[in-house]
Amino acid sequence: MTGVSRRDFIPDVIWPFDSATETYGAAVDRQATPGRWSEFVSADIPLVTQWDDGAHTGPEPGRLATSSASMSGAVADMLTALQPAVGGAYLDIGTGTGYTPARIAEIAGPSGFVTTVEVDAELATVARGNLERAGVRNVEVITGDGFDGWARSAPYSGVHVTCGIRRISHAWVAQCLPGARIVLPWGTDYTQHDRLLTLTVGDDGTASGPFGGGLSFMKMRAQRLTYPEHAAYAPKGWDDDGREGHSDLTWQEAAQVIGQDGGFAVGLRVRDCFVNPARTEEGAVSIWLYSTSDRSVAYAGFSDDHAPDIMQAGPRSLWDEVADARAWWAAHGRPEPERFGLTVGAEEQRAWLDSPDGESWPLRLR
């Protein structure tokens, strides 16, 4: 960790994360305020280095953060899971500034090598310059789609992915040696609570492993979900053709389907769906559910004095699906995310509870 200087890879203009407000503030320019710039670069916080795939200009934050220098602590957690070794060959997906592949290369040593793939040609060019100035010689930056891996330099001793993933590429598995580790931030579209996933490649062409702690990265560009506006699902009069539902859940029980533990489990079992909780000025709370595969929508409204109001419309009954998944989770002792895992094969990806050989189910992934 101390063998690579973060400041060698940070551009002059950055947008630091403010943990108090959980937002990104205005740009900090090294030329104008070098002291503040150095302070933020030294802090264990993420620093946005690009907005809106490079289309954004100006000092204010853009619409969507699309590249960053990750928190040093988060990268350390991922490298701990990867367990890179001296002399190993590693594939890194999402080069960014080049800081993370430089760290892997530092561990692998002169006899090791890192191939890193960046989809953004401009970012790849900047990363090459950063690596050269920092004196890192055992890293090759490829401009391309990291989902395909990079077969030319395979086989790899491990794969390190620095973008949020919804569907895991089997190419990463196929390009690895047996026993290699693949580490990545993984989650469902249901909530934004992603987790660190550590897969170990087997002799049979599959990779399997458990989830770890919370870890959220910017999504792989090809796997971003574009959220339609609420009116696209629930235009005026949407409930005229809706179906009333029934639920005995209290708000405290229902809120478990949007929490980090319950929401993660529900997302593993309810396909193509995302959740949006809301609270009115009067204090009433509600849960909206939207399908990403059609225009199904569901609403559950809660207050203290009566059972929740349930309304569902479209081909799917989303509230019923989510309530069933929450009931399954509760019946299994409300397992935390670390008790779940994934197995990735050439034709199928399966989620499981406690063991790959135990209860499992296929994931339908976009």
The catalytic residue positions are 70
- Between vectors from CA 124 to CA 211 and to CA 176, what angle results, nearest 5°? 40
CA distances from 207 to 179, 199, 340, 348 (A): 9, 6, 14, 11
User: What CA–CA distance (Å, rounded) separates 156 from 183?
Assistant: 13
CA 133 distance to own-chain centroid: 30
User: What CA–CA distance (Å, rounded) separates 115 from 130?
Assistant: 15
Q: How large is the angle between the packed helices 318-331 and 260-269, nearest 10 degrees?
A: 120
For 257-320, give the DSSP string: GTSHHHHHHHHHHS-SEEEEEEE-TTS-EEEEEEESSSS-EEEEEEETTEEEEEEEESSS-HHH
Q: Which of 251, 226, 187 is nearest to 64 (CA)?
A: 226
User: What CA–CA distance (Å, rounded) separates 175 from 161?
Assistant: 14
- The neighbouring-strand residues paired with 142 are 117
**Contacting residues for 286 by C-beta, under 8 A, at least 6 apart:** 277, 278, 279, 280, 299, 300, 301, 302
Structure tokens at 311: 């309304």
**Contacting residues for 210 by C-beta, under 8 A, at least 6 apart:** 197, 198, 338, 339, 340, 341
Structure tokens at 99: 């800081």
Structure tokens at 297: 């929508």
